[in-house]
Amino acid sequence: MKISISPNANKNALKSHAWVGLAVSVLMYWVCFSGALSVFSQELLRWEQPHVADNLDYSPATIQAAY
C-alpha cells in the first residue's frame, strides 16, 4: 500500500522541519554556551581581575584567631 502526500503538504512539512530544526539548534547552542560559562566561571573571573591575589598564605595563628 502506497501513501501519497500532496506536494503542498510535503512543502509545508519541509518548511516546518527547517524551522523546528533551527529553533532546536538555537536552544542547544544556548545550553552549551551557558554550560561552558558555568564550567569556566572561576577561570574567567581570574582572567577578568588579574590584579586580585589568587591565594593568600596565612599563618596558623591568623587562621585560629579568625575562628
pTM above 0.85, yes or no: no
Q: Which residue range(s) make up the domain with 36?
A: 7-65
**Total structural domains in the chain?**
1
Residue 1, in any domain of the structure: no
Q: Distances from the Cα of 29 to the Cαs of 26, 40, 66, in angstroms? A: 5, 17, 45
What are the pLDDT digits (tens) for 1-26? 688 889 899 999 999 999 999 999 99
Q: Name 13's Cβ contacts closer than 8 Å, sequence gap at least 6.
A: 5
Band of residue 30 on the pLDDT scale cut at 50, 70, 90: very high
Residue 39, in any domain of the structure: yes
Residue 2, in any domain of the structure: no
C-alpha cell recorded at residue 12: 509545508
